[in-house]
Amino acid sequence: MKCIIVDDEPLALNDMERQLKKLGGIEICGKFGNAKDALDALGALEPNVVFLDIDMPVMNGLEAALHFQETLPGARIVFVTAYREHALRAFEVNALDYLLKPVLLPRLAQTLQRLETAASASAPANAASGGVDATIRCFRSLSVEYGTPPSQLAWRTNKAQELFAYLLHRRGQQTRKDTLIELLWPELAPERSYALLYTTVYQLRKSIDAAGIGIRILNTKAGYELVTDDIVIDVDEWERRMPPADDNPPDLLQRYESWLDAFTGDYLEEQDYEWADAERRRLRILWYRYALRLAALLEEHGMPEHGLDWLYRVQARFPYSEEVCFLIMKLHAALGENSMVDQQYSLLVKMSEEQYGQPPSAEIAAWYAARRADITPQTFDP
């Protein structure tokens, strides 16, 4: 293992060097009195570990750690600080450990042991990350599945799951920390809520690292950003495979059905986060419109009964849709199933009164009345 030491205090810098040499097992490839010089040399030295003082002028250790992680993502950060309150902030940037000054030899030995353990664990994880398939599922319930046989990413708490879900919802965008605080812990004092945020992010990163999958939570000055690299996300994949709306040859019918069947439940349905309502509604409407289009295509291509099956599937998901009820009535009428027309109209009347406090629309009522007038009692199904 190679390391660099960054501290603006020469005595502290030399003391850390002396103690590391005493313990052995780690090569010191650089010492720096400020973070900028260390960053400039990072690419050439490629250390595995950065021992980093927090309280430094110009660029403090917390800010520098962000740059270290961006420049050399595999490097482990160990903070060295004279202030115990800084330890909490170490979790924010996914530091492996923190040491309080003056650094005692037994405590430093523990850190080196942690570094060796982390290095051993990351080797198979890194090898797996290039070959392990992973899928993030958002339809019905949030889950992250990876490996063979499939395993699921574990959530330490419900808040950890919601934090991941919200960052995923805004993937590729920076989310401010105060936004996350207001979302997850609005009732708590700022000091307590920020502490929970930092530890929750830390726990998420630990779980993701242990799984060895290509998901990263980037840290910026203002907030966090979730990067999913090449991970398959079922919602994105579903939209990517959306059939063209202006093409309707018979061979596309199976493609329509397969695509609609992949919509296995509403977006984050079981979690039912209020902030996901708009996206949930957008995807529902998309499925709804394409399902109605499929039903119409099936009827056009001589499969009205199959089209009717799809209309009933839509009605099961959208029980208060007057439009769907009317389409079912008209298709039953086209098939001569008059008793089913009456049944649907009765259901529509009941639903309209219970949900909206009014009768069905004038258009549907007029259509039904005209149909009743046009047929004799003998033509109705027994």
Lowest average pLDDT, out of 133-147, 160-174, 233-247, 289-303, goes to 233-247
Q: Which residue has the higher pLDDT, 87 or 293?
A: 293
Token couple for 181 = 């605080």
C-alpha 313: how far from chain center: 28
Q: Poorest-confidence range of 7-16, 82-91, 117-126, 301-310?
A: 117-126
Q: What is the pLDDT of residue 250?
A: 66
Whether the per-residue pLDDT at 246 is higher than 80: the answer is no
Q: Which two tokens stand for residue 315?
A: 């009605």
- State the pLDDT confidence band at 15, using cuts at 50, 70 and 90: very high
Confidence of residue 86 (pLDDT cuts 50, 70, 90): low
pLDDT at position 342: 95
Among 146, 164, 154, CA closest to 200:
164
Mean pLDDT of 333-348: 95
**pLDDT class for 380, splitting at 50, 70, 90?**
very low
What average pLDDT does this structure show over 121-137? 62
Mean pLDDT of the region 95-105: 90
Residue with tokens 């063209």: 244
Predicted model pTM: 0.73
267-270 — which CB contacts under 8 Å span 24+ positions?
267/138, 267/139, 267/235, 268/138, 268/141, 268/142, 268/165, 269/139, 269/140, 269/141, 270/140, 270/141, 270/142
The answer, yes or no, to whether residue 284 has pLDDT greater than 70, is yes
| Mean predicted confidence (pLDDT) in 223-249 | 86
Residue bearing the bigger pLDDT, 91 or 297 = 297
- Confidence class for position 128, pLDDT limits 50, 70, 90: very low
Q: Which residues are CB-neighbours of 246 under 8 A, at least 6 positions away? A: none
Domains by residue range for the chain, with CATH:
2-128 (3.40.50.2300), 134-232 (1.10.10.10), 241-379 (1.25.40)
